[in-house]
Amino acid sequence: MLRMPTKAAIVAEERGLLERQRVFRFVADRVTAALAQCRSVEAIALIGSVACPLRREVPRFAPYKQLRLPIAHECKDVDLAAWVSRLDGLDELRRARGRVVGEIVAECGHGPAVHEIEIFLLEPGTSRYLGRLCYFRQCSAGKRDCLADGCGHQSFLKQHDDFSFYPEAIPRLWGNPKSPLRISSAAILVLA
């Protein structure tokens, strides 16, 4: 029989979930700074659960799941939207993301895995979803992920079967889309 966690245990669990979100925001800021140096990137936005206040929900882990006890949402990865003017430079973006992960691990002794940083690629002007930035070292890597329809037609442009990108996940650009905005954990960086 599962025991109800104490208030102190719940507070400690939620503190850990908030710390995970804080660390992912730090990672997002570092990856955004690296991507901003890439020639084909026109704008970047932090989207997903890392970008917003954590909602309360019944999590996927014990004992909270079995007891149907809601706590703060568990951030599983960083989701960035990047508007790119060309697709022939995706290896540069992939390398920038990997370099940041290596730097964070070297500085802290641990860090995120590359697959925990999802980069959704969008067309400038229309925000049409193009695919995700692949995290494998070569294209095609011959992995199960590479078997998705359209995956690898453009090097390092990852596709997923039965995936729909919801444009409402992207915050609106405020003001002039050509004027630079300072990046924060919930803002869009538009490169001049």
**pLDDT at residue number 91:** 96
Q: pLDDT tens digits for the chain (192 residues)?
A: 788 999 999 999 999 999 999 999 999 999 999 999 999 999 999 998 998 899 999 999 999 999 999 999 999 999 999 999 999 999 999 999 999 999 999 999 999 999 999 999 999 988 899 999 999 888 877 888 888 888 888 889 999 888 888 877 776 543 334 433 334 444 444 444
What pLDDT, on the 0 to 100 scale, is given for residue 190? 47
Cβ–Cβ < 8 Å for 191, 41:
yes
Give the pLDDT score at 138: 85
DSSP notation for the chain: -PPPPPHHHHHHHHHHHHHHHHHHHHHHHHHHHHHTTSTTEEEEEEESGGGSPPPEE--SSTTHHHHT--EE----SEEEEEEES-STTHHHHHHHHHHHHHHHHHHHS----GGGEEEEEE-TTT--EEEEE--SSSSS--SGGGGSTTTTSSTTEE--TT----GGGSPPPPS-TTS-----TTSEEE--
Give the per-residue pLDDT at 172.
Answer: 54
**Cα 115 from Cα 78, distance rounded (Å):** 9
